[in-house]
Amino acid sequence: MAEHHPFTPSPLYPFVLPCVAVLLATLPAGCTRNPGYPPELTFPPREDRLVLALPTAAPPRPAEVGRLDAEIAALDAAGGRTADPAALPAAARAELGTFLRETFGTPAAPQSPGLGIGAEQLAEGSRLFRKHCAQCHGVAGDGRGPTGPWIDPHPRDFRRGAFKFVSSGDGMKPRRADLLRTVREGLRGTAMPSFARLPDADREAMAAFVVYLSVRGEVEFRTLAALADEGGEAGTDGDAVGFARGRLAAVVAEWQKAEASPQAAVPALPDDDARQAPDYLASVARGHELFVADAGAGCAKCHENYGRTAALRYDVWGTVVRPPDLTQTRPKGGDRAEDLAARVRHGIAPVGMPAQPALSGGQLLDVVRFVRALPYPRELPPDVRAQVYP
C-alpha cells in the first residue's frame, strides 16, 4: 500500500495565499460580466462560536493560518468566554432565522431595512460582492470564504459591527467615506486589494453592501449573545424576534450617527516639504516625547521599542494581533496625515488602541509627524535618531 502522509502547510502559505486571494478577487466569477447569487441561496445561520469576553492575559503565541476556529474555541481555556450557537435554544434560533430572512432577504434578493440604500444599488452590490469579495469574506461577510482561513491577517468579519479604520469617532461605526477609501485603496500588507480601477458607482455599491452585511450580522450576533449570556431565552425576555427588532433599530441608528459625525480635524502641514527645516524637526522631537511619555500619547506602552518588540494581544474578534513595527511598515490604514491623525485621535477600538481626545491640534500634528518620520532615520532630529536607531 502507498504510504500516506498528513498534510502540513508550507511556511510560505501566509505569503502565497494572500497573493492567490488577490488574483481571485480580480478575476471574473463566471462567464457573464457580473453573475449574481443563485436565487435559491439563503444566508447560512451562524455556526461559528460567539466571542463574548476576551482573556486578560496576553496570547501565548501568534495566530496560525488554517486554525481560526480552533484558536477561538481555545479562548475559554485561556480565561475568555465563547458560546456555541448550536447549544442555544433551537426554537429561538429558528425564530431569529425567520426574522433575518424576512427582514434582510437573501443574497440574490437583499432588502434594506431602513439603511437608506436603494434597491438597485443593494442588488448591484450583492453581485459585485460575490464577484470580488466573497472568496475571502464569505457569503455572509463572516471572513470565512474559501480562502479566508488561510490568510494572515484574517479577512474582516463584518458581523461584529466593528471596523478598525474610521474617521467618525472612538468606537463608532465608519462613515461611508471610510469604507470607500478602503475599497478604493486596499490595505497595505494584507490580502485586501485596491479596487481603484472599478467605476465609482461599483465601489459605492460594494461599500453599501458591506454596510448591509454588517447590520444583518450584528443583529444576529447581538441576539445570539443575549441568548448565551442568560443561558437561554431569558436574555431576550422570551422574545428573540422582539429583541432582534430592537437591536436592528439601535444598530441602524449607530450607522446614521456615524455618517452625520464630523471628520477628525487635521492640522495643516505647511512645511512638510522641508523635512530638515528647524520648525519641522522641533515638531518631530515633540512628537517623540509625546509618543514615549505615559503622560503624553503613551504610544510606547503598546508599540514597545517603536513596535519592534510589541506584545501580542487579542482583537475584538478573538484573533491574535501584534501592534505594528512603526520603523519598518507603512500603516495599513494609510500614511497620509489625515489617516494617521484619525488613528491617533479616535484610536482603533477593535484592537484596543486607545483614543487621544485630550491632545491639542498642535500635539496631534507633532505625533503624526513623528510617526511618519519613524521609518526614515534622516528625517529624525539627531538626538531622536540616536534613541530610535541606537
| pLDDT tens profile 328-354 | 877 888 878 888 888 898 899 999 999
Whether residue 174 sits in one domain with residue 253: yes
| DSSP-derived secondary structure letter, 314 | E
Rounded CA gap, 353 and 150, in Å? 26
Q: Are residues 133 and 126 in contact, defined by beta-carbon separation less than 8 angstroms?
A: no
Banded model confidence at residue 27, pLDDT cuts 50, 70, 90: very low
Which residues are 110's β-sheet partners? Answer: 105
Banded model confidence at residue 269, pLDDT cuts 50, 70, 90: low
Residue appearing with cell numbers 474582516: 156
- Assess whether the previous peptide bond of 350 is cis (omega < 30° from 0): no
In this prediction, residue 113 carries a pLDDT of 94
Residue appearing with cell numbers 538626538: 383
Kindly state whether residue 269 falls inside one of the protein's structural domains. no
Whether residue 231 sits in one domain with residue 112: yes
What mean pLDDT comes out for the span 304-313?
A: 93
What mean pLDDT comes out for the span 299-310?
A: 93
In this structure, of 29-38, 202-211, 221-230, the range with the lowest mean pLDDT score is 29-38
Q: Is the pLDDT of residue 6 over 50?
A: no
Average pLDDT, the chain: 88
Total domains present in the chain: 2
In this prediction, residue 231 carries a pLDDT of 64
Q: Is the pLDDT of residue 174 over 60?
A: yes
Banded model confidence at residue 263, pLDDT cuts 50, 70, 90: confident
Between 264 and 137, the more confident residue is 137
Q: Are residues 30 and 94 in contact, defined by beta-carbon separation less than 8 angstroms?
A: no
Whether residue 296 sits in one domain with residue 255: no
Give Cβ neighbours of residue 87 (< 8 Å, ≥ 6 apart).
Answer: none
Banded model confidence at residue 28, pLDDT cuts 50, 70, 90: very low
| DSSP-derived secondary structure letter, 307 | G
Whether residue 174 sits in one domain with residue 146: yes
Q: Are residues 387 and 291 in contact, defined by beta-carbon separation less than 8 angstroms?
A: no
Domain boundary among 231, 260, 289: 260
In this prediction, residue 247 carries a pLDDT of 98
Q: Is the pLDDT of residue 2 over 70?
A: no
Kindly state whether residue 4 falls inside one of the protein's structural domains. no
Banded model confidence at residue 212, pLDDT cuts 50, 70, 90: very high
Query: What's this model's pTM, rounded to 2 decimal places?
Result: 0.87
pLDDT digits (tens, 9 = 90+) for 86-141: 999 999 999 999 999 999 999 999 999 999 999 999 999 999 999 999 999 999 99
Q: Is the pLDDT of residue 14 over 80?
A: no
Kindly state whether residue 266 falls inside one of the protein's structural domains. no
Amino acid identity at 358: A
Which residues are 231's β-sheet partners? Answer: none
| DSSP-derived secondary structure letter, 269 | -
Q: Most distant CA pair in the chain: distance in Å?
A: 76
Whether residue 247 sits in one domain with residue 147: yes
Q: Can you read off the three cell numbers belonging to residue 4?
A: 500516506
| DSSP-derived secondary structure letter, 286 | H
Domain that holds residue 32: 13-260
Kindly state whether residue 221 falls inside one of the protein's structural domains. yes
Whether residue 199 sits in one domain with residue 51: yes
Which residues are 320's β-sheet partners? Answer: 314
Whole-number percent of the chain with pLDDT over 70: 87
Rounded CA gap, 230 and 57, in Å? 25
Which residues are 314's β-sheet partners? Answer: 320
What's the N-to-C CA distance of the chain in angstroms? Answer: 60
What mean pLDDT comes out for the span 311-324?
A: 95
In this prediction, residue 4 carries a pLDDT of 44
Give Cβ neighbours of residue 278 (< 8 Å, ≥ 6 apart).
Answer: none
Whether residue 19 sits in one domain with residue 138: yes
Give Cβ neighbours of residue 253 (< 8 Å, ≥ 6 apart).
Answer: none
Banded model confidence at residue 76, pLDDT cuts 50, 70, 90: very high
Kindly state whether residue 267 falls inside one of the protein's structural domains. no
Rounded CA gap, 332 and 311, in Å? 18
Whether residue 365 sits in one domain with residue 292: yes
In this prediction, residue 236 carries a pLDDT of 78
What mean pLDDT comes out for the span 6-30?
A: 47
Domain boundary among 227, 260, 293: 260
| DSSP-derived secondary structure letter, 51 | E
Q: Are residues 348 and 161 in contact, defined by beta-carbon separation less than 8 angstroms?
A: no
Whole-number percent of the chain with pLDDT over 90: 74
Domain boundary among 228, 260, 292: 260
